[in-house]
Structure 1
Amino acid sequence: FVHSPLDDYQPSIRVGELLPWVSAERLIQCRVRQTTNQTTYTCISYRWDAADVLREIHMNDKVFLVRQNLYDLLEVLQQEAKDKPEERFIYWIDALCIDQNNIWERNHQVAQMGRIFSTATCV
């Protein structure tokens, strides 16, 4: 998975949406997209675990590796999404919504965290 670049000309972030399970394999699937502040989303803050255990999810139909504790959280959230299929769960999670391999973007997004958290509908 490779993040598409964020728009440099306006304050934008990426948000994700969990997709319903489509098979008995219970693959965690999500779609990540760029947005401005008009989108309603939930911020999720958590402690990064050691990277010794990585799990596979699918972001925009591509393989993406996440730490075990984030995987566990996504699994719970996806079950909740399955139980409420009429509701869309739009989220901002730093490990998924910031290109962690792009130092400029990572620093830029970290500098905007106050705004990112304050414009979320729930943290």
Structure 2
Amino acid sequence: MTAPFVYQPLAGSETRLFSIEPGKVDDPLRVQLRHIRLETTPTYHALSYVWGDSNDKVQISVNDVPFSIPRNLYNALGQLREILIAKKEEGFLFWADSISINQQDEAEKSREVLRMGEIYQSAYQVTGWLGMAED
């Protein structure tokens, strides 16, 4: 059994941003998470999405460790990866609460929720994901 993902504590004004690793459409979704200080003005995209059923989780890889995220976020990241593949682009940084905030740490969650306005305002682009289109 693989050890669960362990968040490293945020220092000062740090937040966590991640990049989506390249892959084919059916490849497992893999992201690399890193600590960034927003005042260094990194270019990143913030992702807002409908959480949906809290029990409907999908496993991805964060820094090569298994990690569960809501299915709606998984679908959004999968679509973003397809766009990046089509444009032959990589290295974009993203912020999404389920990955960027340690949801098991109530103190961190409270601090980061208070900073969400700054996080969204500092983003190069904010994308709202409502879910997959119905057939």
Q: Which residue of 2 aligns with 1:99?
A: 102
Q: Are residues 117 and 24 of structure 1, via their aligned partners in 2, closer, same or farther at CA, if it must alter by over 3 Å? A: closer
TM-score, scaled relative to structure 1:
0.90
Q: Give the aligned partner of residue 15 of structure 1.
A: 17
In the alignment, the residues of structure 1 paired with residue 79 and residue 21 of structure 2 have an alpha-carbon distance, to the nearest angstrom, of 13
Aligned alpha-carbon RMSD (Å) = 1.5
Structure 1, unpaired ranges of 5+: none
The alignment of Structure 1 onto Structure 2 pairs a total of residues equal to 120
- Once residues 73 and 57 of structure 1 are traced to their aligned partners in structure 2, the CA distance between those partners, rounded to angstroms, is 13
Compute the TM-score of the two structures, normalised by the length of structure 2. 0.83
Partner of 1:76, secondary structure, is helix
Moved over 4 A (4+): none
Matched residue type, 1:4: Q
% identical aligned pairs: 30
For 2:114, the equivalent position in structure 1 comes to 111
From 88, 93, 99, give the equivalent of 1:90.
Answer: 93
Residues 16-36 of structure 1, C-alpha deviations (whole Å, 9 max, x = no match): 100001x78511000010001
Q: Given residue 102 of structure 2, which amino acid in structure 1 is its aligned partner?
A: D
**How far 1:81 moved relative to its partner?**
1.8
